[in-house]
């Protein structure tokens, strides 16, 4: 399997298929590159080179005890981009991966990035603070940590239900989607996933958003129960120099999986503009 080794000795797994303009996909917590399989096949068949990696501590990458912070995540991506000589790249990030895209493009991507796509993404900041009064209270994230530490396997059965909106009236539970979420989550390291809750909830991306100077598409469902769009997409789009906001009525956090036909077409149209 293909890996790069970062400067601190962490092995980062990645998939790299096809030729053409590269698209690098950044997954959400606590998943892996496999969460992008639908998108990778879609864009591969349309002539793009598609790459996705497992964040450190996730999937097949090293279960490192350190480096669980957004600066290191973005630096790992920079090392991957250099190793694969990725240029004119479109970076697409979902949820925590959207934060990773934001930090990478703002601080490492100069001269290498063509466009960015943030899907159900965590920026500007999730946590409720005096500067972000409409954010999510710390107690919510403390509860996530407690559930993960107590019984990660059951926790990872429970999270996909609101993640994909399967708890909504009339929603059809897709068991394979839940099983695949659980499978990906259990591949990673409990410690890395525990620490990543702090990363995705407390990292402040306000300054990063202001630094991004490439066209950026911000996509969010208005029924996202994990990252409410009012405190995420709406605020991010306002700070981007070249941002485009697209909201999806009734779509959940995991809309890239269960509404892939809609999202893939919109991402393709944005890339091809």
**Residues marked as catalytic:** 95, 224, 253
Give the separation between CA 24 and CA 154, rounded to whole angstroms: 31
Q: Could you tell me the two tokens for 119?
A: 């899907």
Burial 63-80 (b: 16+ CB within 10 A, else e): bbeebbbbebbbbbbbbb
Q: Could you tell me the two tokens for 154?
A: 């059951």
Question: Which DSSP string do the residues of 173-229 spell out, in sequence order?
Answer: P-HHHHHHHHHHHHHS-HHHHHHHHHHHHH---HHHHHH--S-EEEEEETT-SSS-G
SS (H, E, C) 107-163: HCCCCCEEEEEEECCCCCCCECCCCCCCCECHHHHHHHHHHHHHHHHHHHHHCHHHH
3 state DSSP class of 2: coil
3 state DSSP class of 244: strand
221 touches 239 (CB < 8 A): no
97 touches 31 (CB < 8 A): no
Is the CA virtual torsion 92, 95, 97, 102 positive or negative? Answer: positive
3 state DSSP class of 81: helix
């Amino acid at each position: 399997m293909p890996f790069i080794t970062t400067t601190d000795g962490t092995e980062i797994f990645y998939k790299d298929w096809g030729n053409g303009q590269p698209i690098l996909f950044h997954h959400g917590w606590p998943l892996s590159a496999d969460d992008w399989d639908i998108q990778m096949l879609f864009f591969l068949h349309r002539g793009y080179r598609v790459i996705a990696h497992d964040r450190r501590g996730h999937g097949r990458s090293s279960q490192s005890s350190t480096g669980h912070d957004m600066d290191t995540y973005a630096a790992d991506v920079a090392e991957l981009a250099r190793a694969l000589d990725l240029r004119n790249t479109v970076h697409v990030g979902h949820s925590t991966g959207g934060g990773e895209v934001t930090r990478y493009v703002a601080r490492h991507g100069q001269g290498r990035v063509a466009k960015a796509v943030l899907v159900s993404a965590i920026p500007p900041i999730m946590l409720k603070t005096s500067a972000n009064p409409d954010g999510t209270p710390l107690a919510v994230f403390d509860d996530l940590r407690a559930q993960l530490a107590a019984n990660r396997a059951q926790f990872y059965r429970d999270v996909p239900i609101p993640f994909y909106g399967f708890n909504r009236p009339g929603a059809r539970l897709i068991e394979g989607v839940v099983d695949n979420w659980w499978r990906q989550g259990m591949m990673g390291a409990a410690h890395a996933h525990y620490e990543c809750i702090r990363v995705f909830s407390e990292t402040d991306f306000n300054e990063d958003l202001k630094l991004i100077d490439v066209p950026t598409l911000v996509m969010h469902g208005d029924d996202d129960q994990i990252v409410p769009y009012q405190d995420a997409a709406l605020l991010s789009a306002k700070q981007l120099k070249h941002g485009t906001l697209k909201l999806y009525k009734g779509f959940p956090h995991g809309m890239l999986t269960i509404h892939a036909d809609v999202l893939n077409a919109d991402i393709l149209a944005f890339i091809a503009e």
